[in-house]
Amino acid sequence: MQNQLPDLYFRQRLGGATVFRIGTQGSEQNLAMVPVAAIKLPSGKIRMRGQHVLSKTEEVQVADWIAARSESTDDHPVRQAIAAMNHAADWAEKAEPAEAARESDALLLAIHDLRGTIVRKIAATVETGAD
């Protein structure tokens, strides 16, 4: 299990991705994801959101992500699941309230099930000392 979060998160969507800066906020150190840019594929055009500016390190991370996406076939089931979850998040942002209400319970249950499964797997790995 990784202890370090990445600086950026790329939410895949049809035709590109939204780039989020990852951080923490508040006294409980809650995870914060701030949208900072949108990437258009296959052109690789980057459009900044609001007044955000990417650091040089972040620019390299974005360029690396674009290069990796152009070379990727996404044939691994986990990468396909991540892409599907990203598309669902993109849909949820744009959905009409009635449509979101209709689908939200099933999505939230699936996310809860996945999270619980991953937590149990990690806990079992920690208990046995396996990597």
Per the structure, the count of domains in the chain is 1
Q: Which helix (H) or strand (E) holds 54?
A: none
Flag whether 33 is in a domain: yes
pLDDT score of 1: 43
Tens-level pLDDT at each residue, the chain (131 residues): 456 788 999 998 888 999 999 988 777 778 889 999 999 988 989 999 999 999 999 999 999 999 988 777 767 888 888 889 999 999 999 999 999 999 999 999 999 999 999 999 989 888 777 65
Flag whether 24 is in a domain: yes
- What are the residues whose beta carbons fall under 8 Å from the beta carbon of 46, sequence distance 6 or more? 19, 37, 38, 39, 40, 54, 62
Edge to edge, what strands does the sheet with 30-40 contain? 8-13, 16-25, 30-40, 45-48
User: Whole-model pTM above 0.75?
Assistant: no
Flag whether 102 is in a domain: no
